[in-house]
Structure 1
Amino acid sequence: MRKKRHNYSAQEKVTILKRHLVDRVAVSDVCDEYDLQPTVFYRWQKEFFENGAAAFEKSNSARNRAEQKRIEQLEAKLQAKNEVLSELMEEHVQLKKERGVR
């Protein structure tokens, strides 16, 4: 008879890996406890270490998005100021021409 396949969530996988890495429980004991094949455990561990940096990048990503939004707002403000300045300069030049002043 086949065993029922269990799909572990990401949080459950981390908890299982933590049992071995932090609590120092042997891989064989963890696999027996959760009815896992050791190859599955080691695949999860490999994925965990390869993608571990993503956990730290998320906070940076949010910070980068906020910083990028701020930059875009400042650029829009600068563009608006440049347009106003350009209009004022055009009016100034036009007035000088009308009055015959160089």
Structure 2
Amino acid sequence: MRRKWDAKTKAKIVLEGLMGGCVNEMCRTYDLRPGQYYKWRGHFLEHCHTVFERPPMAPSESDLAAENEKLKRLVGELTLELNNGKSIL
């Protein structure tokens, strides 16, 4: 049966190996194949720089409220234009 490893555990194991731990002994302790460890390590080293990147900023609540009001006005204006163009029977 295949084990599911969470990201925190993978990071802990990889860091343990990077800090000089014996990989074979560590793999025996965690019941992990060395090949899997080296795969995780490669992925970790390839993507570790992303920790220092800023995530895209989410719009603030006030920005969303302002956009919502703008859209409501636009819908109102378009509704008036449509109603003015039609004759009421």
- What is residue 17 of structure 2 aligned with on the other side? 20
Work out which of the two has the higher radius of gyration on C-alpha atoms and give 1 or 2. 1
Instruction: Output the TM-score relative to the length of structure 1.
Output: 0.52
Higher helix share: 1
From 21, 44, 47, the equivalent of 1:48 is: 44
- What is residue 61 of structure 1 aligned with on the other side? 55
Unaligned runs of 5+ in 2: 64-89
The aligned runs of 1:1-102 (5 Å cut-off) are: 4-22=1-19, 24-57=20-53, 60-62=54-56, 65=57
4+ residue runs over 4 A deviation: none
> What is the aligned length?
62
Q: Does 1 or 2 have the higher relative contact order (CA < 8 Å, sep 6+)?
A: 2
Q: 3-state SS of the aligned residue for 2:55?
A: helix
Output the CA distance in 2 between the equivalents of 1:53 and 1:16: 18
Percent pairwise identity: 30
Matched to 1:34, the amino acid is: Y
Aligned Cα RMSD in Å?
2.1
Unaligned runs of 5+ in 1: 74-102
Deviation of 1:21 after TM superposition, in Å, equals 1.3
Matched to 1:5, the amino acid is: R
Matched to 2:45, the amino acid is: F
